[in-house]
Structure 1
Amino acid sequence: MKNVFCLEGMWDVNLKYQSTIEPVLQLLEKRGTVRYIHKNCATKVEMKFYLNKWGLKQYDDFPILYLAFHGSENSLSLADDDITLDELSEILEDKCKGRVLIFGSCSTLNIDRRNIARFLKRTGALAVCGYKTDIDWVKSTVNDLLLIEALQENEFSGRGIEAIVKKLKNITKKFKELEFRVVSQLEINKKMSIDDTVH
């Protein structure tokens, strides 16, 4: 079982508005698919605190980091500020070996592949997944649910992640308008070795 460590941002400044991703995680847990930890994050300080906690050995059995926030190109939106992928990679440096990150946010991965490669290299993550455009909340939530379920089907290793990436790409064909992308460390390494061969 590959459990989920979820950090969720504020969806609205009006605190009466109660949208949350947590019922999706509860559904997966009740089905026996995963266990999860869910924490709300409104500020950079809170996010850094929880990301540092997730990096501890005691959370090795929570290898899926699910970041559910508003977002924009190359960043996640918090109540007090945005946090860029470079800032995130600094916090997560060398803490993501054998782990996968899901950006459940609008447009965060609408960036150059080289930036994603740099993020993967710095953090050591096996793969990152996320959206390249503004997304419909319900459709993206369904996509994320299917994604977390698919991540359970293979081991988090080189060969396992290759099989997982294929499955994820098949799932996301159902939601083309979401412009979901999956980039793995293995994929980046293969491309670099092909480029080296060509040059």
Structure 2
Amino acid sequence: MIGVKNKIFAIEGEWNDNLRKKETIKSSLTLLEEVSNINHIYRKVNTVVGLVGYLKESKKMPYQEYDIIFLAFHGTRYDIEMSKNNYISIKDLADNCNGWFNEKHIHFSSCAVGLDPKRLEYFKEVTGAASVSGYKKTIDFFESSIFDMVLLQKLTEYSRMGSLDNYLKSKFKYLYNKLGFKMIYN
């Protein structure tokens, strides 16, 4: 285990049409920064243009050192949704981000995006990512937030994704299975 990654570029969609609801990944990112010294950039988007724009921005020199891309959205086996009726397929997102994520680690904290591993494999291949992960099942926000924090923290420690996947599978077996965690790596 080598500490090689310690910066997260996080983008989150709208979780609810009710503006009084306060669900957000931001508190998880703050905890990771305060406890594990993992720096982050956090942005919220509600359009495909906004998402692709921030991902394009992540390629620029000041942000290239952010080697974990954390995408938190509603999802299906085919796409992610930024807000009601505003979605993009995993394939189209990969095509929009062709070659952008060389050796970066991408995590989709979204329901069902890992249900068809071929979509995640395509995303990894087209974007050049070192790994792509997500969930195969409908996920609970709180439980997935706990698992996300463990995953993001452990990504900063592990250089071999197979070892990380095995660690998560053995030490966090309940959530790993309940959420249907799936990681694609070489």
> Is TM (by shorter chain) over 0.5?
yes
Aligned to 1:173: 173
Q: CA RMSD in A?
A: 1.5
Counterparts of 2:174 and 2:44, CA distance in 1: 30
For structure 1, the 5+ residue unaligned runs are 187-199
Higher-Rg member (1/2) = 1
* 1:90-169 equivalent positions in 2, closer than 5 A: 90-111=95-116, 113-155=117-159, 160-169=160-169
Counterparts of 2:47 and 2:138, CA distance in 1: 22
Match of 2:34 among 30, 34, 51: 30
Query: TM-score normalised to the size of structure 1?
Result: 0.85
Q: Deviations over 1:106-156 (max 9, x none)?
A: 111111x3333222111000111110110111111100000011101123x
Identity of aligned residues (%): 27
Counterparts of 2:135 and 2:23, CA distance in 1: 19
Counterparts of 1:136 and 1:98, CA distance in 2: 29
Instruction: Determine if contact 1:168/1:182 at 8 Å carries over to the other structure.
Output: no
Q: Deviations over 1:54-84 (max 9, x none)?
A: 1223212211111111111121012242111
Shift of 1:101: 0.6
- Structure with higher RCO (Cα < 8 A, 6+ apart): 2
Counterparts of 1:47 and 1:168, CA distance in 2: 28
Kindly indicate which of the two structures has a greater share of residues assigned to helix: 1
Aligned to 2:75: 71
Counterparts of 2:171 and 2:112, CA distance in 1: 19
Matched, 1:87 2:88: no
- Aligned residues, how many? 180
Shift of 1:95: 1.1
Shift of 1:32: 3.5
For structure 2, the 5+ residue unaligned runs are none
Query: TM-score normalised to the size of structure 2?
Result: 0.90
Counterparts of 2:50 and 2:142, CA distance in 1: 26
Counterparts of 2:119 and 2:51, CA distance in 1: 21
